Structure 1
C-alpha cells in the first residue's frame, strides 16, 4: 500500500491489480497510464515487475496494453494497517475489469470483510460487471470461501491465533448483506455516462453509493436530462430515491399495510476538473449545478479540484492579467465548446460563424485560465466543500 495519498478524499491507496484499458473519453487523460509507465522503469526490480507490460506507445500516445497484473502479495496489505483508514481500492486499475478473475475480486472482498476498521472506496467504469457480480449468489459463495481460506492460512498477517480459533468455531458470513465498510461508486464524466452507470449502481446492493464526476467534461443533471423542447423526459430520483410502497406488514388487527418507502439513492457526490498534460477545462456552472443539487436534498458533496483550468485569471506583480502566453485563457460555452483567443473576433474570427450556428452568445461565454492544479486550488465560489457520507443501516443498504 502507498503512504499518505495525495487524493483529497482518501488516506491511502491499495492496488492489488495493475493495468487497465480505456472505455470512454473520461479515460483520455488517465493519470494511471503515466504512473504505470514511469514505475515500469523503476530501478527497484520489485516495483518495475509489478507494472511490467501494462503500457506501451500506440497511435502516437502512451496507452494501456490491455495486460492486467494480479499482485497476490499485496492482497493482505490492509491487514497490516492497525489504524482506521479510508482506502481507495485499485487506483492503478479497475477492480471489475474483464481480465480480473471473479475469484481474485472475491479475495479483495474477503480482505475488506476481515478489516472492518477500514473504509474502502471502490470506483469503477465497468458498471455492468459490478452489478452482475455483487448480485450473484455464486460470487457471494466465492467471497465466503476466500475469507475462510485467509483465516485458515497461518501466514495471513493481523489475525492472532485466538481470533482464528474463535472464527472457525463460530463462523458467520459477512456477505449476507452489503459490507458496511465498502463505499461503492462509479466514475461519470458527462450526462451520457451518468445515464449508463448510475442506474446500474443503484441496482447494486451497497452501504454507500457514490459517484466521482472527475474529470467533469460536460453538464450532469442528477434529476434527469432536459428535453430539447422543454421539461424533463423523466425524473431519475438519483438523489432522493424513488418513492414507492415498502414490504407489507400485518397489524395486530390482521390488516395488511404497505408503508411508504424510498428506493436506493446516491449517498455522496465528488466532482472535479481534469489535470495533467492536455487537460480539458471544466465549466464552473457544471460544478455549481452538482453542488446545488446535492445541497437541496442534503446529499454530501466534495469538490476535489479545479485541475489545470480555473476561473481566476493569473495576475502579474502589478495586479494585471498576464497575457500573451498561448493557451493561457480560453472561452468556454455551456456545452463544453472551447474557443481560443481570437476565434470569435468579429467578423473574421475563424470560428465566428460556427459559434453563430451553435447559438453561442459571446456575452455568456465563461473565461477559464490554464494556471495549474496547484494555483487553481479547491475553492468553489470562495468555499471548500469536504462533506462525507454516513453509511445507511444494513436493511436499507441491501435494497
Structure 2
C-alpha cells in the first residue's frame, strides 16, 4: 500500500474548515486498513507524521494506532507551543525551526518543553536547527548542547516467531542499526 500525503494533510482540526473532517476520517480509515493486514508491522518500517503546531497534535494520536517498528514525529518547522502533544508510544521526535527569507521565529521554550518530555519518557530527540534566514543561521544548540539522538533499534526483536521462516528473509539484518549495515559496505560512511 502506498500512501501519498499532499497539501490536504495540512488541514485544520477545526470542523468549520472545509474538508478537514473528511481528511481526518480518511486517515482513520487508512489506519484501520493497515491494522487489518495480518503481516503488519514489517520489522523495518518506520512511520511518522508532521506536527507544526498544537492544532495538529491529533496526528500523534492517530500514529499511535498504527503498528510499526518505530513511530516518529517531525515537529518542523515548529511554529508554536504544543502543550497537547502526548509522546507515549512514540520512539523518536525530530524538532526544528523554519528557515528562509520569511521564516517564523522558533521559541526555544517550546523546544525545551518537548525536550523535557522526551527525557522523561526516554524518547529519542533530534534537534535539527533553530532556523533563521538560512538553516544554519540559528545554530543547533539548546541550552549549550546538541541533541542528536536516534531510536535504539538494537532492542527491536524479530516480530516473526523464531520457529517460523519470515517472509522477509533475515529479520536481524533488517532491524540492525543502519550504521552496522553501512560499515559492511566498502566506501560507505556513517556520520
TM-score class normalised by the smaller sequence: 0.5 to 0.7
CA separation of 1:303 and 1:220: change in aligned 2, threshold 3 A: same
In the TM superposition, residue 186 of structure 1 has moved relative to its aligned partner by: 1.0
Matches within 5 A, 1:163-312: 176-194=39-57, 196-221=58-83, 224=84, 238-240=86-88, 265-308=89-132
State the alpha-carbon separation in 2 of the partners of residues 277 and 127 from structure 1.
33
CA separation of 1:220 and 1:19: change in aligned 2, threshold 3 A: closer
CA separation of 1:176 and 1:23: change in aligned 2, threshold 3 A: closer
In the TM superposition, residue 25 of structure 1 has moved relative to its aligned partner by: 7.3
Corresponding residue SS for 1:376: coil
The structure where strand makes up a greater share of residues is 1
Corresponding residue SS for 2:33: helix
- Whichever of the two has the greater Rg, that structure is 1
In the TM superposition, residue 390 of structure 1 has moved relative to its aligned partner by: 2.4
Q: Which runs of 5+ in 1 are unaligned?
A: 1-15, 27-97, 99-125, 138-174, 226-237, 241-264, 309-370
Decide whether the 8 Å contact of 1:272 with 1:306 is kept in 2. Answer: yes
Give aligned pairs, total: 144
Decide whether the 8 Å contact of 2:118 with 2:124 is kept in 1. Answer: yes
CA separation of 1:25 and 1:215: change in aligned 2, threshold 3 A: farther
In the TM superposition, residue 300 of structure 1 has moved relative to its aligned partner by: 0.7
In the TM superposition, residue 179 of structure 1 has moved relative to its aligned partner by: 1.1
CA separation of 1:127 and 1:217: change in aligned 2, threshold 3 A: farther
CA RMSD of aligned residues (A): 2.9
Q: Which runs of 5+ in 2 are unaligned?
A: 13-22, 161-191
Corresponding residue SS for 1:296: helix
Aligned structure 1 segments of 4 or more residues deviating by more than 4 angstroms: 16-19
Give yes or no for the alignment of 1:386 onto 2:139: no
Q: What TM-score do the two structures reach when normalised by structure 1?
A: 0.33
Partner of 2:34: 134
Q: What TM-score do the two structures reach when normalised by structure 2?
A: 0.64
